[in-house]
Amino acid sequence: MRLLVALLLILAPPAAAELRGHGGPVKAIAVSPDGAHVVSGSFDQSAILWSPARGAAEAVLRLHEGAVDAVAFLPDGRFVTGGEDGRIVLWREGGRGPVRVFAGHEARVAAVAAAPDGERIASAAWDRSVRVWPLDGGEPRIFRGHTENTVNAVGWLPDGSAVVSAGYDGTVRLWPLAGTPRVLAEVGFPLNALAVLPDGTVAAAGAAGTVYLIPPGGPPRTLDGGTAPLITLAANRDGTRLAAGGIRGSVAIWALPEGRLIRSLTGPGLPVWAAAFAPDGVLWTGGSDRRVRRWDPETGAHLGGAVAGPEEEAASDHPGARVFRACAACHTLKGDSANRAGPTLAGLFGRRIASVPDYPFSEALRGMDIVWTRETVAKLFTLGPATYTPGTRMPEQVVGNAQDLEALLDFLERETGG
């Protein structure tokens, strides 16, 4: 099943400017409250926990049976993921294993949001419902009222008194934890995304290029300038910037409260499914190009996500170093595998598969009888990990170009000391 949905990651020309690691479109992104971590969810069925400072993946999390469409951090640094399998998973800080699985949604979980007090999470799913789950377990509250199955977005009012949601029925709905639900706005077109500003204003966007702003108690107003259809919305921490990403690959940024369009970031021309601001104002985006990108929303500059480590810098004159950038997020060449999502490649050639001590290899890899040589590593990236090492936790990818493959092998031989 996993094989069927795995997408091939064909190694693209070099671009150190992003975090690479996902084998499919990036569908969701969140930044931790302290800015030290980013978590991304992908169509490749994994979530990746990144350290932006090191440009490295710290953990690849696989538990969902289907795309990971939703991610959110809790105030304490733990995070939740929601998936196509209808489940929500609460993960330990640092991604060190799941704490709890929340099951009950009957379809894809499209969005999750943590309550300001960190004691509950809200979810929106394509089963027409919005749910509020106590984190310590216990029965969820189920809110029904949307008139179409596809409920796409969910958020909390800043005081934690109510959840808001939006969906294909074109409504933004308010679900007080105590009190009567009501429709906040009916915009007349399908809605894909929402963001709640610190003053309680709800921003919602969807099939049109217009963003709706619904202030608490006041009449809605609109922001124009987005490229329809819009599929993700994010507000910065103090509510002075709002970003909207679209299916055509651009991201519009408005200054609030004025509502002035200040920038339109042009991405790779592919859908931008996810956006999130870091506490320092940097904007993170994820999309169909499988990358996690970092931008300065004020200047529109692409800041880059993957900061090369010292060993990669030192070796960057080698043609294989360029190819290795696609691996560097998860693998070191010397020592310290504990810090990355994959095992260290130090001493790779001549080494038995899954033999690095202290690295938690998958059962699948541990059961295999392969010794890493130029030939077997070449096979790994010609056939693809899913074919050559079925059941592996390494995301699917191939090195499509024979010259690149040779360069990568030369580079590995030189740098891994084998």
Please state the closest distance from residue 135 (CB atom) to ligand HEC, in A. 28
Q: Site residues for ligand HEC, window 347-386 (CB under 6 A)? A: 348, 353-354, 356, 361-362, 364-365, 372, 377, 380-381
Q: Residue 112 has which token pair?
A: 């999750």
Out of 395, 404, 405, 415, point to the residue binding ligand HEC (CB under 6 A).
395
Torsion of CA 25, 80, 283, 46, to 10 degrees: -20
Out of 127, 306, 331, 396, point to the residue binding ligand HEC (CB under 6 A).
331
Please state the closest distance from residue 382 (CB atom) to ligand HEC, in A. 11
CA distances from 27 to 156, 247, 273, 301, 381 (A): 21, 12, 5, 22, 25
CA distances from 374 to 312, 335, 371 (A): 20, 20, 10
Angle value at C-alpha 391, between 390 and 392, nearest 5 degrees: 95
Rounded Cα gap, residues 51 and 256, in angstroms: 30
Rounded Cα gap, residues 328 and 291, in angstroms: 14
Tell whether residue 6 is a contact of ligand HEC (CB under 6 A): no
- In terms of Cβ atoms closer than 10 Å to its own Cβ (0-12, 13-18, 19+), residue 152 is buried
Please state the closest distance from residue 80 (CB atom) to ligand HEC, in A. 20
Rounded Cα gap, residues 387 and 398, in angstroms: 11
Asked whether the beta carbons of 172 and 184 are under 8 A apart, the reply is: yes
Please state the closest distance from residue 200 (CB atom) to ligand HEC, in A. 38
CB nearer ligand HEC, residue 189 or residue 361: 361
Size of site (CB under 6 A) for ligand HEC: 27
Q: Site residues for ligand HEC, window 21-60 (CB under 6 A)? A: 21, 57, 60
Please state the closest distance from residue 378 (CB atom) to ligand HEC, in A. 10
The rounded radius of gyration (Å) of the Cα atoms in the chain is 22
Which range in 208-216, 235-243, 257-265, 322-330 contacts ligand HEC by CB under 6 A?
A: 322-330
Residues that bind ligand HEC (CB under 6 A): 21, 57, 60, 326-327, 329-331, 341-343, 348, 353-354, 356, 361-362, 364-365, 372, 377, 380-381, 392-395
